[in-house]
Chains A and B, each alone.
Chain A
Amino acid sequence: MIAFWALVRKDLRIFFGDPRAVIMAFAAPILIGSFFGYVFGSMGKPADRGKIKVLVVDPQPGKVTRQIMESLQKDPMLDVSASDLGDAQSQVKKGRVPVALLFPPGFSEAAAQALFGGSKKPEVTVLYDPSHKLEAGMVQGLLTGQVMQSVTRQAFSQQTTATGLSLPFEMKEKALAARVGVPYNSYAHSFGGMAIQFMLFMGIDVGLGMLLLRQRGLWRRFRAAPLSKGVLLGSRAFSAMLVGMLILAVVFAFARIVFGVKIEGSIIGFLGICAAFSLMTAAYGMLIAALGKTPEAARGLATLATLLMVMLSGAWVPSFIFPAWMQTLTKFIPPRWAMDGLDAMVWRGLGLQEALIPIGVLLLSTLVFGTIAVLRFRWDAE
């Protein structure tokens, strides 16, 4: 055991003695996680989100279109202003304004008549920037409501329904995640994702480091000592696991202190996933060392494989936005289980039982990677 701990201590001393490695492992996931958390968080918070700019082209303003314009201007999600056709087309084309609405001349009267099916329906054109299709859809929905209200008010102005028709129900949204009353914190996902990404990068460094040991003759020196292969590989895996756990601990501690990310679910489940993924990362490093011939040759391929795994795991963007077939496919990628497991324990607030399958899959992956590594590792390579 003296040798085992000496080898582990050596790995940790070298790791913490290298500022570049420490920055990459700890500061980079925090920085990038903060960025993604902010960006994705803004999407869910109306107060932080910029209003959607809308230009309205109304060549022959009538009572109805004026009412629609006023109502749209009062909507907190929209920034509405009047324009002419040429300007509206130019602004949308250049990407300065995402949506423009074009009312045809005589819209007010034609719409009121069309309400009862007596004449041809007037056509409102929605010009939109193709990169803002989502916003265009939102504006169309809001416009429909306002048109219905204003046109019916106009049509029935001689009767009692002076306020016009309106939707006969109210919509109430309720986010069902974590504990009741606890708002979703976008930093929970982004920090988990970035921790996973940079732990896998650390795994690459572990693998390349082992190839460098061979290149520098250190492996010969280690193997000349009366030590088992288990001690030699196990000590490296253990130190990698410790660093991996530390990355997760530091990243989530930062997220907790600065962004208020809490482990809403099972703490034991969270720790279990962290430990299982750290082990898997260590085994992944061993696999790189076993399959790579030289550090130079292994670096590019390992980086590509890691980036693909990170991308497909949902670490950058949540996996639920993937097409269905891709969501199924990514279940064969171990980091996906780490990501889902961390999401489940951190912001979904689920219990320990929801962590068991991700932990199981990660441990199984560790076993597979580790076995291949031990079988393929070139002990005699000169």
Chain B
Amino acid sequence: MLQATGLKKAYGNLQAVDGVTLEAGRGQVIGLLGPNGAGKTTTIGMLAGLIAPDSGEVKIGGERISGDTSPVKRRLGLVPQELALFDELSAMGNLELFGALYGVTSAKERDRVLDLVGLRDRARDKAGTFSGGMKRRLNLAAALLHDPDVLLLDEPTVGVDPQSRNAIFDNLETLKAMGKTLLYTTHYMEEAARLCDHISIMDHGKIIASDNLAGLLRHVPVSSFVVVELAEDGFAGLEALRSMVREASLNQRQLRMGLQRLDTLPDLLQWLNANGGTFSHVATERPTLETVFLQLTGRSLRDA
């Protein structure tokens, strides 16, 4: 349904997007994960036909977007990162306007999307009076009026409380179940992990890894992390420990180890006890997309 091949875009000396290729079928959610400035929004802009790529092409349902008035644009819905709404207009007024841009004037369609995002009872209220979460849901509804096949969501949960975030996720899962193709950009790895069938990790304009969650996690050479709180400062056996595990680091009293197999943990703890590493607390963690990003770039996703 959505096919982008070799997209490139430069602004002066800055190569914002460098050879991005993406593909998503009907009913699939693909995630574009990357830090701020990775090139996600520019990529979305090219997919939506807002920005002309320097090279590469975008096809929706096998057809290219040709010009501003291309009918292919009717198959796309864009949810911008900003709250692209008129605060001065009611929710219904906003939907009337955004529907009309696609020739949709039916009140039934407006009611349908308001029902979907749970704002039917606030239809006559001005968007300016809405909470951040409600605005985000209206932002989503405005992109659905013309019933697009492909929905491009550019960080649709920025600044949203957990309750509204869950509501948006429910909406997106409903859309997925309806067979819509969703492209979802985010820098929240947990969102990508929850929603996406396929995730592309982007950094400095390039896709540096692309797979499903399990496939991406295979980039991390450990199956689990163990975090041990030591009872005392200093641990002399760190170098010896490093030869026993995949990786180990000490931060004040917190000892973090990466294990290939979790069943080696009891032996490891015994060894720690015997070698001066008395501990007060032990916790295990699974690798995450954050770990994948760290593994691939050497930087934390949030700090990048």
Task: Report chain B residues within 8 Å CB of A218.
Answer: 82, 84-86
B-facing mask of A220-239, CB < 8 A → 1, else 0?
Answer: 11111111110000000000
In the complex, residue of chain A having the shortest beta-carbon distance to the beta carbon of B44: A220
Chain A residues 1 to 52 lying within 8 A of chain B, measured CB to CB, are 2-3, 5-7, 9-10, 13-14, 17-18
State the Cβ distance, B132 to closest chain A Cβ, in Å. Answer: 14
Contact assessment for A228 and B82 in the assembled complex, using a CB-CB cutoff below 8 Å: no
A-facing mask of B163-187, CB < 8 A → 1, else 0?
Answer: 0000000000000000000000000
- Given A221-B84, A382-B45, check contact A14 B89 (CB 8 Å): yes
Contact assessment for B84 and A2 in the assembled complex, using a CB-CB cutoff below 8 Å: no
B83 within 8 A of A: yes
Q: How far, in angstroms, from A320 to B59 measured CA to CA in the complex?
A: 64
B160 within 8 A of A: no
Contact assessment for B105 and A2 in the assembled complex, using a CB-CB cutoff below 8 Å: yes
Q: How far, in angstroms, from A228 to B83 measured CA to CA in the complex?
A: 23
Chain A residues 194 to 227 lying within 8 A of chain B, measured CB to CB, are 215-218, 220-227
Contact assessment for A6 and B97 in the assembled complex, using a CB-CB cutoff below 8 Å: yes
Task: Report chain B residues within 8 Å CB of A17.
Answer: 88
Contact assessment for A221 and B81 in the assembled complex, using a CB-CB cutoff below 8 Å: no
Q: How many residues on A have C-beta within 8 angstroms of the other chain's C-beta atoms?
A: 27
Contact of A380 among B50, B74, B83 (CB under 8 A): B50
Of A6, A14, A224, A382, most B-chain CB atoms within 10 Å: A224
B101 within 8 A of A: yes
State the Cβ distance, A20 to closest chain B Cβ, in Å. Answer: 12
In the complex, residue of chain A having the shortest beta-carbon distance to the beta carbon of B48: A224
Contact assessment for B89 and A225 in the assembled complex, using a CB-CB cutoff below 8 Å: no
B103 within 8 A of A: yes
In the complex, residue of chain A having the shortest beta-carbon distance to the beta carbon of B41: A382
A-facing mask of B8-48, CB < 8 A → 1, else 0?
Answer: 00000000000000000000000000000000011001001
B69 within 8 A of A: yes
Contact assessment for A225 and B102 in the assembled complex, using a CB-CB cutoff below 8 Å: yes
Task: Report chain B residues within 8 Å CB of A223.
Answer: 48-50, 68
- Given A218-B84, A220-B78, check contact A226 B96 (CB 8 Å): no
Q: Is the interface of A mostly helix, strand, loop or mixed?
A: helix
Q: How far, in angstroms, from A218 to B86 measured CA to CA in the complex?
A: 8
State the Cβ distance, B258 to closest chain A Cβ, in Å. Answer: 39
State the Cβ distance, B5 to closest chain A Cβ, in Å. Answer: 20
Contact assessment for B68 and A226 in the assembled complex, using a CB-CB cutoff below 8 Å: yes
Contact assessment for A229 and B81 in the assembled complex, using a CB-CB cutoff below 8 Å: no
B215 within 8 A of A: no
Q: How far, in angstroms, from A146 to B93 measured CA to CA in the complex?
A: 76
Work out how many contacts link A and B, with CB atoms closer than 8 A. Answer: 92
Task: Report chain A residues within 8 Å CB of B78.
Answer: 220-221, 224
B221 within 8 A of A: no
- Given A3-B100, A217-B81, A225-B73, check contact A14 B142 (CB 8 Å): no
Of B52, B89, B98, B101, most A-chain CB atoms within 10 Å: B101
Q: How far, in angstroms, from A221 to B97 measured CA to CA in the complex?
A: 11
State the Cβ distance, B248 to closest chain A Cβ, in Å. Answer: 43
Q: How far, in angstroms, from A229 to B67 measured CA to CA in the complex?
A: 10
Contact assessment for A226 and B102 in the assembled complex, using a CB-CB cutoff below 8 Å: yes
Task: Report chain B residues within 8 Å CB of A6.
Answer: 96-97, 100-101
B70 within 8 A of A: yes
Chain B residues 61 to 85 lying within 8 A of chain A, measured CB to CB, are 68-71, 73-74, 76-78, 80-85
Contact assessment for B101 and A225 in the assembled complex, using a CB-CB cutoff below 8 Å: yes
Task: Report chain B residues within 8 Å CB of A382.
Answer: 41-42, 45, 51
Task: Report chain B residues within 8 Å CB of A18.
Answer: 88
Contact assessment for A220 and B73 in the assembled complex, using a CB-CB cutoff below 8 Å: no
Task: Report chain A residues within 8 Å CB of B48.
Answer: 220, 223-224
- Given A10-B89, A226-B68, A380-B50, check contact A221 B80 (CB 8 Å): yes
Contact assessment for B69 and A227 in the assembled complex, using a CB-CB cutoff below 8 Å: yes
Contact assessment for A14 and B88 in the assembled complex, using a CB-CB cutoff below 8 Å: yes
State the Cβ distance, B267 to closest chain A Cβ, in Å. Answer: 54
In the complex, residue of chain A having the shortest beta-carbon distance to the beta carbon of B148: A224
In the complex, residue of chain A having the shortest beta-carbon distance to the beta carbon of B79: A221
Contact assessment for B50 and A2 in the assembled complex, using a CB-CB cutoff below 8 Å: no
State the Cβ distance, B102 to closest chain A Cβ, in Å. Answer: 6
Contact of A217 among B49, B51, B84 (CB under 8 A): B84
Task: Report chain A residues within 8 Å CB of B93.
Answer: 10, 13
Q: Give me 30 A-to-B residue pairs in the complex whose CB atoms sit less than 8 angstroms apart, sorted by A's number.
A: A2-B100, A3-B100, A3-B101, A3-B102, A3-B103, A9-B97, A10-B97, A13-B88, A13-B89, A14-B89, A17-B88, A216-B82, A217-B80, A217-B84, A218-B82, A220-B80, A220-B84, A221-B80, A221-B98, A223-B48, A224-B48, A224-B49, A224-B73, A225-B101, A226-B71, A226-B74, A227-B69, A228-B68, A380-B51, A380-B52
